Amino acid sequence: MARRANGEGCIYKKKVDSNGKCTLWGANIMIGYKADGKKNIKIIYGKTQKEVKQKLEDYKREMLLNTYSVDHDNISLADYYYTWLMDKKPSYKATSFKDYETVYRLYLKNRPIGNIKLKKLSQMDLKKQYRDLMKEGTTPHTIHRINTKLKVCLNTAIREEIIIKNPCSLVELPKITRTKKREVLTAAEQTRLIEAIQGHKLELLYIVALATGMRLGEILGLKWQAIDFTNNTIEVTNTVQKTYIFDDSMNKKIKTIEQTPKTENGTRSIPLPVSLIPRLRSHRKTQLENKLKYGQSYNISDYVFTDELGRIIDNKKPNRNLQTILKKLGIEPIKFHGLRKTYATRLFENGVPPKTVQTLLGHADIQTTLNIYTEVMDTEKQKAVDTLNNIFNF
């Protein structure tokens, strides 16, 4: 018996063996009309119903991408998002494209909201979708992220005069309850950490993080040519990320890639403490010794932080190691990103202006910097109160 999914064509059993098991599935989809006026039907086959359904979806998307006359009156939200995303693919960095593709694959494709016609999409449809996702265990933070990505897509639909208003701008989103998490080391804890990592394989990596406030991707992407040993500065010009890469057929594979910083502010010059210079020189010498030691087995590159064989360090390793070290010290663990905030905190504690800290951190928005500043000032105010309590101890 033929089974019809919404807008996906007709899927049916083509062959059944003597035991009643289907050994070949088929699908029909109309792709236009022949010269004699009869319907032009595309037939697709597969061993399983799931395989045929996937082939049918892929073929339909290819039709959308290869036609110049997309029916905007009847196109579904999922199909419009897909065609928009593929059109944007060349202009997006791999990491950004992955984030947008995830929204399509997990939250639009094969979901009721994805089948709604774009022109009929309302804020109530989105509200129901987000409510259902919450029941599935999706966090409010993720829902905000989904809505943000979808909003960018639908802004294009407004510019193309397909829709008048963006329902993503109107929908009521679940509130994000922000729990206060520990993200910064105190000065005393920082000193203990520095003492504990002496001799550790990632010792210098952690020291550079604390001394420069660089992001992990920026540190892993740091090259020797970016270090000015005369003026004691680092030029941040690229990052290294492990992410999924999609080919033209949307097949994906995980790969470590090098790319430019996310924003223009991310490209910046950072001063290096003088005490770091000899340590970096020593590290460079060790790298050259390993190159001679391992010969052809050594991976030649200009990266500062590599393993013994010259390979880029796994981006999960610094965070895992940091957590383990802090636990052994009896210090509540923070993520690797917390070292960046610790750097900013030390600057604020020593009177460095927020605007300068923003430049050093490469924040695109000063508010991000001020949020750290506010936390530091709250701590400083409490210290002032404690001082007054000691002075006026009647």
Contact 1/48 with Cβ under 8 angstroms? no
Q: CA 24 from chain center: how many Å?
A: 40
Cα distance between residue 40 and residue 31, in whole Å: 6
Give the chain's domains with CATH numbers: 1-55 (no CATH), 70-179 (1.10.150.130), 187-387 (1.10.443.10)
Low-confidence ranges of the chain (pLDDT < 50): 1-8, 68, 384-385, 387-389, 391, 393-394
Cα distance between residue 299 and residue 8, in whole Å: 49
Query: Regarding beta strands 39-46 and 3-5, do their DSSP bridges make them parallel or antiparallel, or are they unpaired?
Result: unpaired
Tell me if the pTM is above 0.85: no
Phi, psi of 178, rounded to the nearest 5 degrees: -90, 110
Residue 54, C-beta contacts closer than 8 angstroms, at least 6 positions apart: 46
pLDDT in tens, 99-123: 999 999 999 988 999 999 999 999 9
- Can you state the angle between helices 354-361 and 366-391, rounded to 10 degrees? 130
pLDDT in tens, 41-71: 778 888 888 888 887 777 766 666 555 456 7
Q: For residue 93, give Cα distances in angstroms to 78, 252, 280.
A: 22, 15, 31
Q: Is 233 strand, coil or helix?
A: strand
Contact 218/239 with Cβ under 8 angstroms? yes
Q: For residue 4, give Cα distances in angstroms to 21, 27, 313.
A: 20, 9, 50
